[in-house]
Structure 1
Amino acid sequence: MTLTALAAAAMVAAALVHSLIGERRLLAPLLAGLEPQDFAVRAARFAWHATAVLMLLCAAAVAWSATPRGLVLLIGGGWLGTGLVNAAYLRLRHPMWLLLAGAGILTIAGAL
């Protein structure tokens, strides 16, 4: 398995963890007590899961052999940067930073 395939797998894992576990452990408690049909609740839930869709699109772009190398490097840099900012901002308390940064590193290494 190539490094970019591993990176894409890590991105898919991140999308699933974000969408499924994040919904249950973070988003639902934040929205508890609000009306389910309230605009803010619906917008927050949409944005939360749209992020997971964008993660899956990144995985597809990284795994697709016809994606320009520069774009793959840009995606990898974005994932690595997001992971590092997550680690610093949340003081290493949110373990997702490892998956985000790891996917970025694998992506960059695979593109080089």
Structure 2
Amino acid sequence: MDIQDLQKEVCLKYGAPFYYSETSLKLGIAPNVKLGILPINGLRIEPEGDTVGWYIWAGEELSNEPDFFQPLHVEHIKEWIPDVEKYLGLPPGWRFLIAGDYEDVWFDESILN
């Protein structure tokens, strides 16, 4: 099964439409995801410019620091944290939180405002 099939499976499981994340575009990622900190969080806003709208970080708190996120092409996510790749087909307004075997995926309308 390829990654798009896995992404579509996640969307189907949670009742979300599939919204492709073009691999040549960028997402925002916090370097702390490489440190083994849990949980891993992701949220997707509306894509803009050369981005897909995803922001991914580790830990309980989302920082407001301007350099908290760095750009990363979607195609390189598997080198940073392969476990999140299957969630990148969720559309804007969706979030995920994973920690080991724990998985929570939900729609959060507030991130679209």
TM-score (ref. length: structure 2): 0.25
**Greater radius of gyration (CA):** 1
Structure with greater helix share of residues: 1
Normalized per residue, the structure richer in strand is 2
Give the structure-1-normalised TM-score.
Answer: 0.25
